[in-house]
Amino acid sequence: MKLARRVEALPPYLFAEISKKIAAKRAEGVDIVTFGIGDPDLATPRNILDALHTAAEEPVNHRYPESEGLPELRQSISDWYERRFEVKFDPQKETLPLIGSKEGIGHVALCFIDPGDIALVPDPGYPVYEVGTMFAGGTSYKLDCNREGGWKPDFDKIPADVADKAKVIWLNYPNNPTGAVADFDFFERAVAWAKKHDVAILHDNPYCDVAYDGYKPISIFQVPGARDVAIEFNSWSKIYNMTGWRIGMVVGNPVMIDALMRVKSNIDSGIPQAIQKMAIEAVYGPQDCIDEHNAIYQRRRDRMVEVLRKAGLEVDMPKASLYVWAKLPDGVTSADYAARLIDETGVVVTPGRGYGLNGEGYIRLSVTTPDDRMEEGLRRIEAWAR
């Protein structure tokens, strides 16, 4: 049997590797505390679960869904964007539901990238941007993001020949893995740059409602003219604790949305309708859960930052996202640090190198670990670092 080169070339998915290591340690009897994946530990709110129960009883929801989603789901996406960001989208032409935003992020390269084409991808960044590009036969040009630059690319530093050849640029603020945020000026510069070089912007915004200290992340569509060049991915996953149900969305430029719709309708059959009903309830039901969750994450963030600083790591307090991004002492690699931590304490963190070369020297910790386990994990880190 001969596998395709694209599969041979595939790096192991970071979290699949970490899960394997956790399983092996647990099999040895080690009590593991994990700060690995950004997967909310809190339950999906009751009203959203009730919507699932009701919808599951209706035979109409037992059948194939349409790939483009229920009209009322697309309306809810449009209403949510209007309520949250004061921007309007035509539900039929400018919104599209996804089987979790990761699915759309993985497939969207098929709309833009032909073999040999260039995608501009942040380093460090969410690994799916690069893998989707590779699947489409394209090449990722890594955008140098670093602490001094607030983990944002400097558009002026993108060589003109690369900019002119590039088909898409990926952006993601609030950012995974760094927790960095971007303001209106940054997105305004991104839109101007993309128009100048005729590059499509793919903005990934799943942490827009996971924010602290009163900070409110924005949408790229608050910039006038963004719709000419951009789409924005978003998700119910992190806002409503719905990672397990797999439902996301993309909004923006109608030509780009239509292209993704055409690709998707040929390879998937949409999102189970009962889950679409959960998402609709999430949009129109009570929103108190958002502040409640953020208060919990904020408390955990504060505690985690305090302990990591005591343990000798440099940490900038994140204003948003589920992540604390910590700089290791000079000369220590992220893989070594993470391996020693799990071997010597049973605590799992994500090595920054997994997000690109610029992630080397950093580790990422997620605040989605239940309070008692988090305290246990932090206690072990503090004792270990002494």
Ligand X SMILES: Cc1ncc(COP(=O)(O)O)c(C=O)c1O
**Chosen residue from 243, 276, 350, 366 binding ligand X by CB under 6 A:** 243
Residues 200 and 112 sit within 8 Å (Cβ to Cβ): yes
Shortest Cβ 179–ligand X spacing (Å):
11
Nearer to ligand X, 107 or 197 (CB): 107
Nearer to ligand X, 163 or 348 (CB): 348
Shortest Cβ 350–ligand X spacing (Å):
11
Give 179: exposed, middle or buried? Use CB within 10 Å, 0-12, 13-18, 19+. Answer: buried
Distance CA 144, CA 123 (A): 6
Residues 94-113 that bind ligand X (CB under 6 A): 100-102, 105
**Chosen residue from 235, 253, 345, 358 binding ligand X by CB under 6 A:** 235
How many CB atoms within 10 Å of residue 337?
20
Shortest Cβ 38–ligand X spacing (Å):
5
Residues 104 and 238 sit within 8 Å (Cβ to Cβ): no
Distance CA 109, CA 313 (A): 37
Shortest Cβ 275–ligand X spacing (Å):
12
Residues linked to residue 118 through DSSP beta bridges, in sequence order: 139, 166
Shortest Cβ 174–ligand X spacing (Å):
9
Q: Which residue has the tokens 């009590």?
A: 31
Q: Spell out, one character per residue from 167 to 206, where the chain touches ligand X: x when CB under 6 A holds, - when not.
A: -----x---x---------------------------x-x
**By CB under 6 A, residue 74 contacts ligand X:** no
Shortest Cβ 234–ligand X spacing (Å):
8
Size of the site for ligand X (CB under 6 A): 14
Nearer to ligand X, 138 or 174 (CB): 174
Nearer to ligand X, 91 or 206 (CB): 206
**By CB under 6 A, residue 248 contacts ligand X:** yes
Query: Can you list the pairs that 294-299 forms with residues at least 24 positions away whose Cβ atoms lie under 8 Å?
Result: 294/209, 294/210, 294/211, 294/212, 296/42, 296/371, 297/210, 297/212, 297/322, 297/367, 297/368, 298/212, 298/213
Shortest Cβ 159–ligand X spacing (Å):
26
Both structure tokens of 346: 């049973």
Residues 221 and 227 sit within 8 Å (Cβ to Cβ): yes
Nearer to ligand X, 102 or 277 (CB): 102
Nearer to ligand X, 70 or 322 (CB): 322
Q: Spell out, one character per residue from 51 to 70, where the chain touches ligand X: x when CB under 6 A holds, - when not.
A: --------------------
Shortest Cβ 183–ligand X spacing (Å):
18
**By CB under 6 A, residue 241 contacts ligand X:** no
b/e 132-170 (16+ beta carbons within 10 angstroms → b): bbbbbebbbbbbebeeeebbbbebeebeeeebebbbbbb
Distance CA 24, CA 3 (A): 27
DSSP letter string over 146-174?
Answer: -TTTTT---GGGS-HHHHHHEEEEEE-SS
Distance CA 241, CA 43 (A): 6
Nearer to ligand X, 307 or 365 (CB): 365
Taking phi over 0 as left and psi of -120 to 50 as alpha, with beta for the rest, 229 belongs to alpha
**Chosen residue from 35, 36, 38, 69 binding ligand X by CB under 6 A:** 38
Positions that interact with ligand X (CB under 6 A): 38, 100-102, 105, 126, 172, 176, 204, 206, 235, 237, 243, 248
